[in-house]
Amino acid sequence: MTDHQPGRPTENAMRRALRRARDGVALDVTEAAVLLQARGGDLEDLAASAARVRDAGLEQAGRPGVITYSKSVFIPLTRLCRDKCHYCTFVTVPGKLRRAGHGMFMSPDEVLDIARRGAELGCKEALITLGDKPEDRWPEAREWLDAHGYDDTLAYVRAMAIRILEETGLLPHLNPGVLSWTDFQRLKPVAPSMGMMLETTATRLWSEPGGPHHGSPDKEPAVRLRVLEDAGRSSVPFTSGLLIGIGETYEERAESLFALRKVSRAYHSIQELIIQNFRAKPDTAMRGMPDADLDDLVATIAVARHIMGPSACLQAPPNLVDEEYGRLIGAGIDDWGGVSPLTIDHVNPERPWPQIDTLAEKSRAAGFELRERLCVYPEFVGRGEPWLDPRLLPHVRALADPETGLANPEAPVRGLPWQEPDEAFTATGRTDLHRTIDTTGRTHDRRDDFDEVYGDWESLREAAAPGMVPQRIDTDAREALAVAADDPTRLTDDQALALLHADGPALDALTRIADDVRRSVAGEDVTYVVTRNINFTNVCYTGCRFCAFAQRRTDADAYTLSLDQVADRAEQAWEVGAVEVCMQGGIHPDLPGTAYFDIARAVKERVPGMHVHAFSPMEVVNGATRTGLSIREWLTAAKEAGLDSIPGTAAEILDDEVRWVLTKGKLPTATWIEVITTAHELGIRSSSTMMYGHVDQPRHWLGHFRTLSRIQRETGGFTEFVTLPFIHTNAPVYLAGIARPGPTVRDNRAVTAMARLLLHPHIPNIQTSWVKLGADGAAEMLRSGANDLGGTLMEETISRMAGSSYGSYRSVKDLVAIAEAAGRPSRPRTTLYGEVPEERIRAARASDGHLPELLPVLPD
């Protein structure tokens, strides 16, 4: 294959690997590389064992002896691309498109004409393929998008997918190349499935001059693996695979298969794996490269089947072989991919699709029945949410056989409305949870889908293992304490880490220093805000593994408030002296795209003077993707609707190493930072937070503090920093045996003290959480550098659902008592740490911040 290829394996190595494959023993990379070189009788042996694995999987899936395909049309939305793959004839340049009389992109009429004709022929899939981000390379692409009113290529993809759904009934399968986490949120509502070939994990084929991917930024293996993981985090049914014979070694090919298996096991999101053989094309840099031979293809399919297992769906394109279909079936495939009766394969135009009748005949000759599927595989049709967006469910169900999840060949293919849920949302479920959480409690300690919704727990244990027990360090803390006392802004990372690990007398000294800094910056007063928490829904399908608040629609503890109920609660809070409502909710798939605007507007219309502190960065991204607005546009519209500031929650730990273990589908660190900094630029201030004590280590806390400090130096938009100790009791990641049981008292003291020192002087307010620590714990943090107690809350369900035992609200007198226990005076504040109007103080004093209908607080 290349000069990098080692010699052939020994007979003993081949025999051993074949025996392990026959016996169903897990293979390692070395054994897989050996088996990829099987030929002759060895290859027949390998293929036979792979076929048995495939057959067992089909039996288990309830479709024995069935091989599938998707009846599709191929829509090459644009052939412009910013990459320069050395084997590709799909991609072209603007001049050639102009000379051929084509636009930079297919027009909507051209797209819909193909889709309509496909629908008339019974096709059910619209395969939308295009080059990666052409506007980044070609001004002509940027000009076309601007002229037609699209911010970027993906905006056009999204718009055309909606029109295909509505006007033709075909289901879009999107192949737009490399996508970010945010891109997946934009496109998931308009396409049941998406795809991108991994091709190879051999970095040298991308990094070295002359390699097939050299000069193509989107072909870096690490980038493509990140896309596969983001698809899994976003619960997108995803197609991927290998392109074999482009210069990779057998070991590199084996490593690529294991990388795909790792993603598949972690997220259960790879719906099919394509093994595609390289075919040299004229007019390309690799025109002289030999085609991948048939034995190579057969061996790779068989090894892929052994590695991926019986439940995997393996595909080999039938138009890339010369009718040797029986050998591919015999090696373990169970799918032929998309086959079109109308359009050519624009990526391999020299290789026509076989006729579907011919494919059925060849499959039958190998003992298999050819059945049509949808672009989204039966497993995911059956799973439904969160894998299929509720806006797509009617489209998918209209074409699916309800018994098998395959395509219903008799189903008419016709357009259906694609629309957001109704603008008015109504109250549902356990809307009294804010009261009864302190008496009745939660119904169950975990969701019924605990074993599926959060991903593969075993993979998570492996990923989380380094963070299970924070590492200890032996650095002398004395020098670090001296620097902290003199000027905490001069603390190095090593010194800061030493202090984050401090215990005993060193920890006592650290908290005294932090308390001295607090005194010089914030004074003696302990501040608090009279506020009401309004969690307007707990229905959420994001799958955060630390969250015990999220429920499915049908769960006993699920609820959603109506707009009137939200406004009623805000009005009640105002009557007892509140200056703020803090509103957050689950990512409910049925709420309309305007829900956040409606909620803010409802509060402002009912109580014009109320400060609306609402919508975490995760909710901001959800709102932006649901409305098709940019983050900046969405925040601007939210501000116009009445949003005053945003909570800096959804931060958890701003380190993706920890974040992806902890949260699965939540926004990545970079996106959280983008939302926060954009809000600050628009004059929307925010709090900042850190949830700690789970699968993290002090080095992650340090990185988190440094990130917040940098943002504050740039924007000045943070009002405070809030410490959020992890509540473990009902948290899925703890119930699965992965997370620690929350932080220790030592951790809480060290984090509070170091927050004061590492954020000094940029963030002057450090808040502790009575909800999570109780009165005694909060008082201790006031002696460790904190100056703020947060709010009265009036109601609280998130921490209580997680298992916090400290009740749902505190009266003004309760908060004053906590401050007094720390030896400090107290005073009320506004959200932005301003003076509270006298009228509000009188109202709060008269009611003590109590809502009249609330039940007694549970004792600490």
pLDDT given at position 804: 47
Using the predicted structure, report yes or no on whether residue 28 has a pLDDT greater than 80: yes
pLDDT given at position 449: 61
Instruction: Of 28-42, 391-405, 792-806, give the lowest mean pLDDT range.
Output: 792-806
Architecture of domain 11-399: Alpha-Beta Barrel (3.20)
Position 583 confidence tier, pLDDT thresholds 50, 70, 90:
very high
84 vs 91, 269, 375, CA distance in Å? 8, 29, 28
Strand partners, 370: 67
Q: What 3-state class would DSSP assign to 188? A: helix
Residue 363 CA, distance from chain mean position: 38
Question: Rounded to 5 degrees, what angle do the CA atoms 598, 604, 610 make?
Answer: 130
pLDDT given at position 521: 97
Measured in Å, how far apart are the chain's first and last C-alpha atoms?
70
Instruction: Of 170-174, 419-423, 616-620, 667-671, give the lowest mean pLDDT range.
Output: 419-423
Under a CB-based contact definition with an 8 Å cutoff, are residues 809 and 796 in contact? Answer: yes
pLDDT given at position 728: 85
Strand 559-560 and strand 428-429: the pairing is antiparallel
Say which residue the tokens 């809070």 belong to. Answer: 573
pLDDT given at position 499: 97
Angstrom distance (rounded) from CA 401 to CA 397: 8
- Residue 505: exposure state from Cβ atoms within 10 A (0-12, 13-18, ≥19): exposed
Q: What is the pLDDT of residues 737-757, one digit of tens each?
A: 888 999 999 999 999 999 999
- Helices in 721-834 by DSSP H: which ranges? 732-735, 745-758, 770-782, 798-802, 812-821
**Mean pLDDT, the chain, as a whole number?**
91
pLDDT given at position 438: 45
pLDDT given at position 3: 55
- Residue 102: exposure state from Cβ atoms within 10 A (0-12, 13-18, ≥19): middle
- DSSP per position, 730-756: T-HHHHTT-S-SS--HHHHHHHHHHHH
What is the average pLDDT across 460-480? 65
Identify how many contiguous H helices and E strands the chain contains and give both numbers.
Answer: 35, 21
Angstrom distance (rounded) from CA 275 to CA 240: 9
Position 554 confidence tier, pLDDT thresholds 50, 70, 90:
confident
Residues with Cβ within 8 Å of residue 114, at least 6 apart in sequence: 73, 75, 126, 342, 343
The pTM assigned to this predicted structure is 0.85
In the chain, where the domains are located: 11-399, 492-529+615-791+799-836
Amino acid at 160: M
Under a CB-based contact definition with an 8 Å cutoff, are residues 798 and 536 in contact? Answer: no
Strand partners, 652: none
Q: What does the block give as tokens for 77?
A: 């939305």
Q: What is the pLDDT of residues 5-18, one digit of tens each?
A: 667 899 999 999 99
Q: What does the block give as tokens for 685?
A: 């201030």
Angstrom distance (rounded) from CA 633 to CA 675: 11
pLDDT given at position 257: 98
What is the average pLDDT across 529-552? 84
Using the predicted structure, report yes or no on whether residue 698 has a pLDDT greater than 60: yes
Strand 685-692 and strand 611-614: the pairing is unpaired
Using the predicted structure, report yes or no on whether residue 454 has a pLDDT greater than 70: no
The segment with the largest mean pLDDT, out of 5-19, 474-488, 670-684, is: 670-684
pLDDT given at position 796: 58
Q: What is the pLDDT of residues 363-401, one digit of tens each?
A: 999 999 999 999 999 999 999 989 999 999 999 999 999
Using the predicted structure, report yes or no on whether residue 859 has a pLDDT greater than 50: no
Under a CB-based contact definition with an 8 Å cutoff, are residues 535 and 585 in contact? Answer: yes
Amino acid at 582: C
Q: Omega of the bond prior to 589 within 30 degrees of 0, cis?
A: no
Fold match flag (11-399 vs 492-529+615-791+799-836): yes
- Helices in 309-456 by DSSP H: which ranges? 325-331, 356-365, 378-383, 393-399, 433-436, 450-453
Residues with Cβ within 8 Å of residue 712, at least 6 apart in sequence: 688, 718, 759, 762, 763
- Helices in 292-449 by DSSP H: which ranges? 294-308, 325-331, 356-365, 378-383, 393-399, 433-436
pLDDT given at position 664: 80
Using the predicted structure, report yes or no on whether residue 61 has a pLDDT greater than 80: yes
Position 508 confidence tier, pLDDT thresholds 50, 70, 90:
very high
Residues with Cβ within 8 Å of residue 56, at least 6 apart in sequence: 310
pLDDT given at position 587: 85
Position 860 confidence tier, pLDDT thresholds 50, 70, 90:
very low
Q: What 3-state class would DSSP assign to 762? A: coil
What is the average pLDDT across 452-480? 65
Under a CB-based contact definition with an 8 Å cutoff, are residues 236 and 194 in contact? Answer: yes
Nearest CA among 305, 254, 314, 257 for reference residue 52: 305
Name the percent of the chain lying above pLDDT 90.
80
pLDDT given at position 628: 87
586 vs 105, 231, 501, 618, 734, CA distance in Å? 38, 20, 35, 9, 20
165 vs 71, 192, 392, 718, CA distance in Å? 16, 11, 9, 43
Q: What 3-state class would DSSP assign to 210? A: coil
What is the average pLDDT across 429-451? 53
Position 103 confidence tier, pLDDT thresholds 50, 70, 90:
very high
Q: Between 124 and 459, whose confidence is greater? A: 124
Using the predicted structure, report yes or no on whether residue 475 has a pLDDT greater than 80: no
Q: What is the pLDDT of residues 126-153, one digit of tens each?
A: 999 999 999 999 999 999 999 999 999 9
pLDDT given at position 1: 40
pLDDT given at position 445: 56
The segment with the largest mean pLDDT, out of 236-250, 411-425, 434-448, is: 236-250
Annotate 269-282 with three-state secondary structure.
CEEEEEEEECCCCC
Name the percent of the chain lying above pLDDT 70.
90
Angstrom distance (rounded) from CA 736 to CA 208: 43
CATH number of the domain at 492-529+615-791+799-836, out of 3.40.640.10, 3.40.190.10, 3.20.20.220, 3.20.20.70?
3.20.20.70
DSSP label at residue 201: -
CB environment 680-702: b (16+ within 10 A), e (fewer): beeebbbbbbbbbbbbbbbbbbb
pLDDT given at position 427: 62
395 vs 166, 231, 386, 411, 414, CA distance in Å? 9, 21, 16, 11, 9
Position 852 confidence tier, pLDDT thresholds 50, 70, 90:
confident
pLDDT given at position 423: 46
Q: What is the pLDDT of residues 801-837, one digit of tens each?
A: 545 455 557 889 999 999 999 999 999 999 999 999 9
Q: What is the pLDDT of residues 589-610, one digit of tens each?
A: 888 878 999 999 999 999 999 9
Q: What does the block give as tokens for 76?
A: 């090459």
Using the predicted structure, report yes or no on whether residue 452 has a pLDDT greater than 70: no
